[in-house]
Every structure is written in structure tokens, then in C-alpha cells.
Structure 1
Amino acid sequence: MKPYQHVAIVECDEPLLPIPEDHFAFVCPHPYAKIGAPYGNKSPFYLRDGVIQRLSEAQTTLQQHHPGWRLQIFDAYRPIAVQQYMVDYTLREVAQAKGLQPDQLTELQRQELLELVYEFWAAPSANPATPPPHSTGGAIDLTLVDETDRVVDMGSPIDELSPRSYPDHFALSEDLRDRAFHQHRQLLRSVMLAAGFQQHLNEWWHFCLGDQMWAWLTNQGTMGGVVARYGRMQDER
């Protein structure tokens, strides 16, 4: 278990709603649906009502400093079946990148590769006490687009399994290009945190509000006692 999974969940039953299409930018086609992830009739571009409201606040703050810029949504709600599919898909990709046959891994090789995968992907737990963050409707992966709808360069793509994904990877670099990447990441982080979100420790693109990770990160800077208000969605309980 990851540390945040020990946080208690007191479900508030807030509805899962579509993210307004006319307000934010979106990555389309959706990257996971494109490769066959089993969403069925569920849309990945859904979040809890309160999270959408805070997301709007973040974009308003962004546009006060950068008129015309928008948040671009990469991924939001993710059913557990999709989480399992993406963990399996990523495991296969990592194995192939290392010259291994995914269907011929030893148990030791499989566990070593899963350790890398689980550094960035949450385990597809069916336990209602330990839901994957994206299965709660309280987590979102996103980046920025400028006033011309051009994606702002963050120095590494979303979902890259490498240290470049860590939010502060470029913080100490003296290279001017790296410094620009860090400034872009800091801009995204600042507008999201100002709206009440918390940022994943290993992923510059992942932010959360109301789930176990959010509560655990919030408790690191307070006296503690904050619990999660979003658990696994009702239709998956």
C-alpha cells in the first residue's frame, strides 16, 4: 500500500459530471480510448462537481496572468477496468523496451517491472478502501495550451516513466531551455494549488482534490486529521 491509501474515506456522494467542453481544452482523441481501454459508455472527461468548480477557478487564475491560455485536459475519470488495462499495457511496453517478451517474464522480472510501473500508475485495486485516484472522480491529468492553442512545452510528455516526470526535475538546471520547462511546470502547479488541488509527488501533470492522495498531501502541511471525501464511484462499488 502507498502511504495515502491509509487515509480514511468519508464519501460525500457528490455527483460525477462532464467537464464543460466549451471552457477547457481537451486532448482528442482520448489517448487511452484510442488504444482500446474499455471505457464502454463512460466518458473519461468527467469529474466530481466540486472538482470542476475548482478547475474553473484555476483556469481563471491562469488567464489573469496569461490571457487566452487554457488548461488542457488529458485524462480525468478512469474506471477500474481502464486502470487495469493501462497498467497491463504499460507493463508490456516497459518489458518490450527492455528487450523482454511480456508473456515470458519470470515472476521476479514481472515484479521488478511492476515496481517501476507502480511508481507512476496506481494499482487497480478493487478494495473500496483503496481506490485508484482517477476512479474517484477527484484526480486529473492536464497541461497548458497558450492563446494559439499550442501545447506549452513541459520538458517531458504526460505518462513518461522517467525522472523527467518529477515536478521539480528541471529546478536546478542552468540550461535556459530547462529553466523554461520548470517555469511552465511551476505556473501549472501554482494555479492548481491556489484552487485547492494537490500535486502528485512523481508526476508534474497529476493533480487531485478530495481523494485519499489529496487528503494525505494536505495532512503533510497541517496538524492532520483531513479525510478523503471521494471514494470509488457508486457504479463501481
Structure 2
Amino acid sequence: MITRTDAPIVIEPTVSPPPGIGVRECGEPLEEVAGVPGVHAGPAYHRRGIAAAGSRIFLRRRVLAALRSASAALPDGVDLLVWDGLRTLETQAEIVESFRRTLPDPGDDATVERYLALPPADREEFTASPPPHTTGGAVDVTLCDPSGRELDLGAEFDEFNERSWLTHYENDSRSEYRRLRRMLYWTMLGAGFAPYSWEFWHYELGTMVSAAFHGERFAEYGAAVPWRNP
């Protein structure tokens, strides 16, 4: 039998937003990531001083339920740690600008868009193609111990380089990073999530990316935060 850590990760580069996918908002409410057995909240952006990022993490109800299911499928002694979920447009813009300042060319939108969704230009774009984290259906998650201490999966959160790519360690058969990334990947897929090829920690459910991954025409989640004029 193939186990979660023996099965390879094979994924085509993710295109976001995927073409040809519409949005049909289902109206599902948000819930806080708190008090869920096996799922720990570690609000990374708040802890890093992103001014617009709050100290609490929210996700759509079904996303949180799916995380609970994923955690229950993990081996004993391994839990899930959620770094981020719902973001306002202010938070998204601040994260994007912070990343731009680290680039040799701050105007390099191709590199920015590989790792972060650019803030929409107008309300129409926001409605038609909301950034995944504004929907409450995108989650940044990793593995941790039962005390919430994160395990080392071979790259830091928001380490925007090749080490963060989902399959970066796939060719290293001796790598503990490969074993843990496979564990996270197959557990999250088993709970219904869609992966993101450029970040091992980013998964989506009910979003446009998730719809494309699962062969569906419409996303269930539109924007769950208000429009803000850039």
C-alpha cells in the first residue's frame, strides 16, 4: 500500500486566477481558528508587525471543518499550525509592498504575482476575481507538534524562493523535508483542499483555484471582506 509519505507530489505550475472559472458566492459564514482539536493558530503576519494584520485568524466554516478532518488523519504527535487565513485588502497591499522592497526591481510584477495576489485595480475586478485570501477559503498551514511548535519543512513561511516550491525536495529521497511535505500535501488533498505549486504551505478550498483543480466551473467563495479603493 502506498502511504502518504511514499506517494510523490506531482503538480503542474498553478495559475492564479485560473481562466474560465466564475464565482457563485454561497454565503457561508466565517469562523475563528480557535479551540479546534489538532489545529493551532499562529498569526504570522501579526507577529511580524504587519500593521493591518489582526491577532485572530478567520476562515469559512467548511474550510475550518476540513482542517479538523485533515488534522485527525495525521499521525499521532503531529498537528496543523495555521499561519494565515482571511485577509483584508489593506493587509494584502501591505504584504505586497513589503515583498516589493526586498526585490532588486520593485516593479517586477511577475515575481510578485508568483507568490502574492496583487490588489485588484477596481471593484469589478475584485468581484470577478477576488484574491484567494480575501475569500476565507485560502489557508497558509504547516505541520507542528501537539504544543503548536512548527516542524521544519525546509523553508520559512513567506521565504519566496525555490525552497518554498511544493516539489523542491522531491528528488531527494533522504530528505525529511520531502517526507513532511508529502505528509502535509496528501493529508490536505484528502480533506478536499487544492495545493499551490509555488508555496508548500498554501492550500485552498471553495476558491477559484480549488474549482479549477477539482474540475469545477464555479467557485463557492467570493470576497468575504469589503472592497477598498486602492
Pick the TM interval, shorter chain. 0.7 to 0.9
The within-5 A match list for 1:40-119 is 44-62=56-74, 66-95=75-104, 109-111=105-107, 113-119=108-114
The within-5 A match list for 1:1-237 is 2-4=16-18, 6-23=20-37, 24-27=39-42, 30-32=44-46, 34-39=48-53, 44-62=56-74, 66-95=75-104, 109-111=105-107, 113-125=108-120, 126=122, 127-147=126-146, 149-174=148-173, 176=174, 179-219=175-215, 225-233=216-224, 235-236=226-227
Provide the secondary structure at the position in 1 that maps to 2:83.
strand
- TM-score normalised by structure 1 residue count: 0.81
**Amino acid across the alignment from 1:227:** F
- Shift in Å, 1:218: 1.5
Q: Structure 1 pair 14/116, CA: closer, same or farther in 2 (3 Å)?
A: same
- Shift in Å, 1:13: 0.6
CA contact (8 A) 1:5 1:212 kept: no
- Shift in Å, 1:81: 1.2
Q: Which residue of 1 aligns with 2:11?
A: none
CA contact (8 A) 1:44 1:78 kept: no
Q: State the distance in 1 between where 2:88 and 2:199 align.
A: 20
CA contact (8 A) 1:200 1:206 kept: yes
Q: State the distance in 2 between where 1:236 and 1:117 align.
A: 21
Q: Structure 1 pair 2/145, CA: closer, same or farther in 2 (3 Å)?
A: closer
CA contact (8 A) 1:37 1:86 kept: no
Query: Deviations for 1:112-167, whole angstroms, at most 9, x for unmatched residues?
Result: x2221211111111421111100000000011112454321101111111111111
Q: Structure 1 pair 110/146, CA: closer, same or farther in 2 (3 Å)?
A: closer
Q: State the distance in 1 between where 2:19 and 2:94 align.
A: 21
**Amino acid across the alignment from 1:186:** R
Provide the secondary structure at the position in 2 that maps to 1:207.
strand
5+ long unaligned stretches in structure 1 = 96-108, 220-224
CA contact (8 A) 1:87 1:121 kept: yes
5+ long unaligned stretches in structure 2 = 1-14
Rg (Cα) greater in structure: 1
CA contact (8 A) 1:218 1:226 kept: no
Provide the secondary structure at the position in 2 that maps to 1:188.
helix
Q: State the distance in 2 between where 1:153 and 1:197 align.
A: 22
Q: State the distance in 1 between where 2:56 and 2:20 align.
A: 26
Provide the secondary structure at the position in 2 that maps to 1:142.
strand
Provide the secondary structure at the position in 2 that maps to 1:71.
strand
Residues matched between the structures, number: 209
Q: State the distance in 2 between where 1:5 and 1:21 align.
A: 37
Q: State the distance in 1 between where 2:148 and 2:31 align.
A: 25
Is the deviation greater in 198-207 or in 225-234?
225-234
- Shift in Å, 1:43: 5.6
**Amino acid across the alignment from 1:229:** E
**Amino acid across the alignment from 2:119:** P
CA contact (8 A) 1:138 1:210 kept: yes
Deviation >4 Å, runs of 4+:
none
- TM-score normalised by structure 2 residue count: 0.83
